[in-house]
Structure 1
Amino acid sequence: MRSQHPVLILLVLTGFITVSFITNLLGPIFPELISDFGIGLMLAGFFPFAFFIAYGVMSVPAGLLVERFGERAMMLFAYSLSALSCGLFVLLPHFAVAMLSLFCLGLAMSVLQVVMNPLLRFAAGSEHYSFMAVLGQLLFGLAAAITPVIYQQLTALPSDAWLYPLLLWLPATMPWLSLYLLFAVICLLMLVWLWFLPFPKHTATEAAAEPESAHHMLQSQWLLLKNRTVQKFFVAIFCYVALEQGIANSMAVYLQQVHQVDAASTGASAVGQFWLNMTIGCVLGLLLLKLFDCRFILLIFGTVSLLLLVLGLSGDKPLALWCLPLLGGSLSVMWSIIFALALNSMPGQHGAVAGILCSGIIGGAFASPLLGLLAEQLDSIRLAMLLLFVPLAYIISIVFWARPLVNNQNWWASRQRQPAAGLEDVA
């Protein structure tokens, strides 16, 4: 089963970059949001919550809608909703509009995630999907790393730049709105590309000539929800996002409370290194996926993550400052491999399956509040962060129960097949 569509691959990889830009826009502007809206940290915490909770609301319906209307229609809807949400916030920069805008952006991003993962599997071929998914994660990480740089460049834009006249429409006290304006422009450009891009007749959904009835679609969705394989991979996605967000959001506070590290400088730098290491880890993952089975790579990266987490939470300050940021590298390939194993374990309905899996991203909305609650109850953030071993253990367990119908193409598998072929020739 192999289908190569380079233009579709380029479209999806570009989509990962746009999703990363929009998903990570809160990072560089978070202090400005708090200051300009005059709100506290607790109320500001509802900004990321509004974004991530949208995944739980939209992902499963998006899977059904992709099966019904196809990838192009749903991507057009997602980019249209994104452009409108960003544009609305630029025109009406108020707290309530910010919440609505972030929720709508979360809805749009969940649709894109549901569409792009099965579409990439179709475009690249199922045996190459693991590799391409990690490449997408690499681009996602790079885009996340340069979002603060783009923000700094926009706020210091010279008057002779071609974008400068657009910035004159923004309130002088809210230069961070330039990011929303830029993302609206990017979404409009993606809409133009999608409108003129010819999709192949049979895409990832492999829809039948006659559309399914609503009753049949709901019946199929119910069967998928009861499928043990789908359920186990949903939990895996939930665990991964909870683990990633739990580490990234708790790291600076842990270093501050346990090792008396300045959160605004050294702590923030450690978090930045975490995301940078995630990008570097993806590069290593791309090489390893050409050499070995993705389950073996997941085992290695999971074991390294376990070791780094133990050392980071039990060691002294230098060890913690070294091990905790390195967790970004060891977590880097997990999302892509889990998603690839899930889709390659199912014979069909990949759009609907992707919808169920993406709803697991809601794990990011609950990780930090739960860790915070435990830290207050136990009066120790170190003890609270021991909870992170639970999702990590589940992710490692995938290696032992995953049974994909299609394995990633790799050197080790081809090497194992060569002796058998030679014996057949001799016989």
Structure 2
Amino acid sequence: MNKQRTNSYRGSLIILTALFFIWGLITSLNDILVPHLKSLFELSYVQASLVQFSFFFAYFVMSYPAGKIVSKSGYKAGIILGLLIAAGGCALFYPSAALRSYPLFLLSLFILASGLTLLQVAANPYVNSLGSPETAASRLNLTQAFNSLGTTIGPVLGGLFILSAAVLTAGQISQLPPVEAQHYFATESASVQSPYLVLTGVLILIAIIIWFSRLPILSDEKETGEVQDHSLWKRRHLVLGVIGLFAYVGAEVSIGSYLISLMERPDIASLTAVEASKKLSLYWGGAMVGRFIGSFLMTRIKPNRLLAFNAIVIVLLIASAIAFGGLWGMWGILAIGLFNSIMFPTIFSLALDKLGKLTGRASGVLCMGIVGGALIPILQATIADHLSLLASFVVPLLCYVYIAYYGYKGYRPTNCA
């Protein structure tokens, strides 16, 4: 019986791993869209940061409802619904690009992220529960490593398809003959439309595969009886975990959003947008490698200790990058990816510890912290517009200071009912 159960879990984890890969790829494409849309619509840093705001604000709006859906309908239904909503968001990129409408782009991103929110709320606690509680953090890190594989490949593909053509300013476009201007708009639209149409088909295909797959139903998957929502907010380690995810996602998204712009600066590396997008894949690739390493280390080192250590290293990397700038600054920021690696799955796993049947709803509450990806980049963008882009990296630095605290002390479960 145990052997059959292990095999069943193994098959489920393989399916979920593919899911993690594809949503990592989709999320990392935002880092390509930011500089692309910034140039295309001649936006300030703050205006361009609305790409990440629209995407990650959906997590804040939809996480709690998603938690209720998952707690009532189960993980499998939540995953399928999330995939279909995300596919709808990807499909809307076609008219957004054709109409060259920035607000429609933002709406498409919001719908896409709403679907991914449901996926996060359902898939993360599902992986967390498919096996021994003692190895939950290690297991989630291993699965999330393939999410990082997607985020590594995403910038490379985005650089090839979305950033391949030179973006003209409004003044340059006005000087083009009408036929050439029309051709330019058609080319720019196609560079965004094609990748997202492919993603639409892939998401629908995965939803069909999961529909016909036999994913195991877990004993604590659905809530039974009435649940007091306020009881979740009495779990101190869960609440501090929400803040931890807010800080982590905000810092990670901020760094990813502005790395290309940072590397393009003459005082840093003077790279082209395409060259910088390839370097960006090193940032996400480091996260992938780090998660494989972290999954192994967590069988020997307590997850909270590894979390605190990595956060302290990142604080030192950012501080030295701001102090020295130049190529050192570029490589210092890129190296953050390696130490970022374990943070999301480890914070997630620690925050869900000892919550039992509250896990599904708690996952929704926890995912609300992902709204940090919407707010922290705007704060960094404001500093970048008024001071300098390099100086603005003090914002993610402070986020990692908090994460170090959570790994040191804030993770400890409480027994409040």
- 2:245 alignment partner, SS class: helix
Matches within 5 A, 1:2-401: 4=6, 5-30=9-34, 33=37, 38=41, 40-41=43-44, 43-90=47-94, 93-94=98-99, 95=101, 96-150=103-157, 174-175=189-190, 176-202=192-218, 204-208=220-224, 212=225, 216-217=226-227, 220-253=228-261, 259-262=267-270, 264=272, 270-315=279-324, 317-377=326-386, 379-401=387-409
Instruction: Tell me if structure 2 keeps the 8 A contact 1:24–1:144.
Output: yes
Give unmatched runs, 5+ long, in structure 2. 163-185
- Residues 145-173 of structure 1 show CA distances to partners (whole Å, capped at 9, x for unaligned) of 22244457779xxxxxxxxxxxxxxx665
Instruction: Tell me if structure 2 keeps the 8 A contact 1:9–1:124.
Output: no
Q: Cα 1:373–1:89, aligned 2, differ >3 Å: closer, same or farther?
A: closer
Q: Cα 1:204–1:116, aligned 2, differ >3 Å: closer, same or farther?
A: farther
CA distance in 2, matches of 1:383, 1:395: 21
CA distance in 1, matches of 2:105, 2:385: 29
| Counterpart amino acid of residue 43 in structure 2 | G
CA distance in 2, matches of 1:393, 1:14: 33
CA distance in 2, matches of 1:393, 1:350: 27
| Counterpart amino acid of residue 146 in structure 2 | L
| Counterpart amino acid of residue 348 in structure 1 | K
Structure-2 residue corresponding to 1:416:
none
- Residues 9-33 of structure 1 show CA distances to partners (whole Å, capped at 9, x for unaligned) of 1222111112112222334455555
Q: Cα 1:221–1:184, aligned 2, differ >3 Å: closer, same or farther?
A: same
Q: Cα 1:255–1:355, aligned 2, differ >3 Å: closer, same or farther?
A: same
Deviation at 1:236, TM superposition (A): 0.6
Instruction: Tell me if structure 2 keeps the 8 A contact 1:254–1:381.
Output: yes
Paired residues, number: 380
CA RMSD of aligned residues (A): 3.0
Instruction: Tell me if structure 1 keeps the 8 A contact 2:155–2:277.
Output: no
TM-score (norm 1): 0.79
Q: Cα 1:388–1:72, aligned 2, differ >3 Å: closer, same or farther?
A: closer
CA distance in 1, matches of 2:152, 2:160: 14
CA distance in 1, matches of 2:320, 2:343: 20
- Residues 191-217 of structure 1 show CA distances to partners (whole Å, capped at 9, x for unaligned) of 211221223343552433xxx4xxx44
Deviation at 1:316, TM superposition (A): 5.2
Deviation at 1:134, TM superposition (A): 1.2
- 2:137 alignment partner, SS class: helix
Aligned identity (percent) is 24
Q: Cα 1:39–1:67, aligned 2, differ >3 Å: closer, same or farther?
A: same
Structure-2 residue corresponding to 1:162:
none
| Counterpart amino acid of residue 255 in structure 2 | I
Deviation at 1:381, TM superposition (A): 4.6
| Counterpart amino acid of residue 56 in structure 1 | F
| Counterpart amino acid of residue 230 in structure 2 | W
Instruction: Tell me if structure 1 keeps the 8 A contact 2:149–2:288.
Output: yes
- Residues 368-391 of structure 1 show CA distances to partners (whole Å, capped at 9, x for unaligned) of 2212323455x3555543343322
Instruction: Tell me if structure 1 keeps the 8 A contact 2:144–2:345.
Output: yes
Larger radius of gyration, structure 1 or 2?
1
CA distance in 2, matches of 1:354, 1:233: 11
Q: Cα 1:44–1:376, aligned 2, differ >3 Å: closer, same or farther?
A: closer
- 2:247 alignment partner, SS class: helix
Question: For structure 1, which segment, 331-340 or 109-118, has the greater mean C-alpha deviation from structure 2 after superposition?
Answer: 331-340
Q: Cα 1:321–1:126, aligned 2, differ >3 Å: closer, same or farther?
A: same
Deviation at 1:276, TM superposition (A): 2.2
Deviation at 1:258, TM superposition (A): 9.0
Deviation at 1:321, TM superposition (A): 3.2
Deviation at 1:267, TM superposition (A): 5.6
Question: For structure 1, which segment, 40-49 or 99-108, has the greater mean C-alpha deviation from structure 2 after superposition?
Answer: 40-49
Q: Cα 1:253–1:27, aligned 2, differ >3 Å: closer, same or farther?
A: closer
- 2:298 alignment partner, SS class: helix
Deviation at 1:244, TM superposition (A): 1.5
Instruction: Tell me if structure 2 keeps the 8 A contact 1:64–1:355.
Output: yes
| Counterpart amino acid of residue 82 in structure 1 | A
CA distance in 1, matches of 2:215, 2:241: 29
CA distance in 2, matches of 1:140, 1:247: 18
- 1:344 alignment partner, SS class: coil
Deviation at 1:322, TM superposition (A): 3.0
